[in-house]
Amino acid sequence: MKSSSQVSTNIVKLTESFSHSTVSAASSQVQKSSMALFGGLLGQYQKRRLLFTVEESNNNKGGSNKVGHPSALKMFDEMIWNSKGKQVVVFLDYDGTLSPIVADPEKAFMTKKMRAILKDIARLFPTAIVTGRCIDKVYDFVRLGEVYYAGSHGMDIKGPTKSRNHQKGNNNEALVLFQPASQFLPMINEVYKILVEKMKAIPGAKVENNKFCLSVHFRCVEEKCWSALAEQVNSVLKEYPKLKLTHGRKVIEIRPTIKWDKGKAIEFLLESLGYANSTSVFPIYIGDDTTDEDAFKVLRSKGQGIGILVSQIQKETNAIYTLHDPLEVGQFLRRLADWKKNKF
Ligand SMILES: [Mg+2]
C-alpha cells in the first residue's frame, strides 16, 4: 500500500509533463488543476493502474537522469564523432518538435524553413516521422514523399513513396505497411463517435481520430471544465477495457492495450531498413513528449545513437541531449545536413 505522500508525488510526476507547454509556462496553479483533473479522470482503480505504470516506468529507466542533459547543438561535434563510420537514421516526432504547439491542433503547421530543412535531411538520411497523429493528417502537414511515417504512436507504419538512394539491401520501393492494432479499428471508431457527442458539452474540447488511437485535446478548455471533461472521458472508457488512457501535452490519448509504442515502432523501422541488431547504425530520435520516452529508452538500452528531448524545462528523461524548442530543432537538423554535405 502506498502512503498518501507517495501517491501525491506520483500524481505530480504524471501531471508535470501533462501541463508542460510551450504556449504557456507550467505553473503551480496549472499543476494543481491537472492533479484535480486526474483525480476525476482516473477513478480509484485506474489511478492505481496508471500510478503503477509510472512507478514501473521509473524503475525500468535505469540510466535516466533528472537534470544536466547538455544541448545537442553545443555537443554536436562530439555527437558526430560518435556516429563515425555508421549510418545516421533520423527519427522525428511532429507536434512540439517540428511544429510549435498551437491552440488549434488542426493548424500545427511547420514553417517553410523547417520543411526545406526536413526535405534536405530526408534526402541525405533515412528519415521517419513518428507521431501520435494519424498518417494522413501528418502527411498533410509534412507533404514529403521521401520519409517514413509511423502514425498513431507507431501503430500505422508506411514507407516512402519517393525513391531514395540510401536504403540498405534491396531497392524495392513498395510501401512498408504495418498495422499491429488493425482489429481495434471498429472499436476506436465507435468510441470516437461517443466522445465527439460527449465533448459537445465541454467548450473548447476537441476529439481527434488518429485512426488507431484517439486524442482529446484540452488546450482550449478552461481549467474549471477540466474535471468535467475528465469525468466524461472516464465514463466512456469504463465500458472499453481493451482501451487505455495515456497523456501528452494538454491532450488525453486513448489507445489499444497492445504492447506497441514509439519504441517498438523505431525498432521495426530499423529492421525494415536492414539494421536489425546492427552496430553500424546511429539513430537520432528527437521528440518532446512522454510518448517519445519509449523511443529514448530503446536507444538507451541498445546503446545505439542518441535521444534528444525538446523541452524548455528540465525534466526526467531517457534522452541524452536536449533542444529548447522547434527553432533549435531546425538549427540542429540544418547543421546535421550541412555536415553530411561537406563530408563528401
Ligand atoms: Mg510531440
* Cα-to-chain-centroid distance, residue 271: 20
Q: What is the pLDDT of residue 249?
A: 78
Alpha carbon of 307 to ligand 1 centroid (Å): 14
Section 156-165 average pLDDT: 77
User: Does the active-site annotation cover 93?
Assistant: yes
Section 135-143 average pLDDT: 93
| Residue 170 main-chain phi, psi, to 5 deg | -80, 170
Quote the percentage of the chain above a pLDDT of 70: 76
Superfamily of domain 76-180+260-343 in CATH is: HAD superfamily/HAD-like (3.40.50.1000)
The pLDDT tens digits of the residues spanning 190-222 come to 999 999 999 999 999 999 999 999 999 999 999
Q: Looking up cell 491532450, which residue turns up? A: 251
Work out the mean pLDDT of the chain and round it to a whole number. 80
Question: What topology is assigned to 4-60+183-256 in CATH?
Answer: Alpha-Beta Plaits (3.30.70)
Alpha carbon of 132 to ligand 1 centroid (Å): 8
Alpha carbon of 146 to ligand 1 centroid (Å): 21
Tally the C-alpha atoms within 13 A of residue 220's C-alpha that lie toward its C-beta.
Answer: 13
Q: For 288, which DSSP code? A: -
User: Of 299, 251, 305, which Cα lies nearest the Cα of 282?
Assistant: 305
Alpha carbon of 31 to ligand 1 centroid (Å): 20
Round to whole Å and give the CA distance between 8 and 51: 10
pTM comes to 0.74
Q: Which protein residues have their CB within 5 A of the ion that is ligand 1?
A: 93, 95-96, 288-289
CB distance 242 to 94 below 8 Å: no
Tell me the CA end-to-end span of the chain in Å, nearest whole number.
60
CB distance 158 to 175 below 8 Å: yes
Higher pLDDT, 153 or 26: 153
User: Domain boundaries in the chain?
Assistant: 4-60+183-256, 76-180+260-343
Residue 28 exposed, middle or buried by CB count within 10 Å (0-12, 13-18, 19+): exposed
Query: E strands, the chain, where?
Result: 87-92, 127-130, 148-151, 156-158, 177-178, 206-209, 214-217, 243-248, 251-256, 281-287, 306-310, 321-323
The pLDDT tens digits of the residues spanning 17-70 come to 333 332 233 333 334 444 444 444 444 333 333 322 233 333 333 334 444 789
The pLDDT tens digits of the residues spanning 267-302 come to 999 998 889 878 899 999 999 988 999 999 999 999
Alpha carbon of 277 to ligand 1 centroid (Å): 27
User: Of 247, 340, 330, which Cα lies nearest the Cα of 286?
Assistant: 330
* Cα-to-chain-centroid distance, residue 281: 22
Of 77, 93, 104, 338, catalytic: 93
Alpha carbon of 342 to ligand 1 centroid (Å): 31
Alpha carbon of 105 to ligand 1 centroid (Å): 11
The pLDDT tens digits of the residues spanning 90-116 come to 999 999 999 998 888 889 999 999 999
Classified as helix, coil or strand, 93 is coil
Hey, CA dihedral for 102, 106, 107, 113, is it positive or negative? positive
Sheet containing 243-248: which strands, arranged edge to edge?
206-209, 214-217, 251-256, 243-248
CB distance 279 to 316 below 8 Å: no
Round to whole Å and give the CA distance between 261 and 270: 14
Round to whole Å and give the CA distance between 278 and 87: 10
Give the pLDDT band (50/70/90) at residue 164.
Answer: low
The pLDDT tens digits of the residues spanning 305-318 come to 999 999 999 889 99
Alpha carbon of 169 to ligand 1 centroid (Å): 31
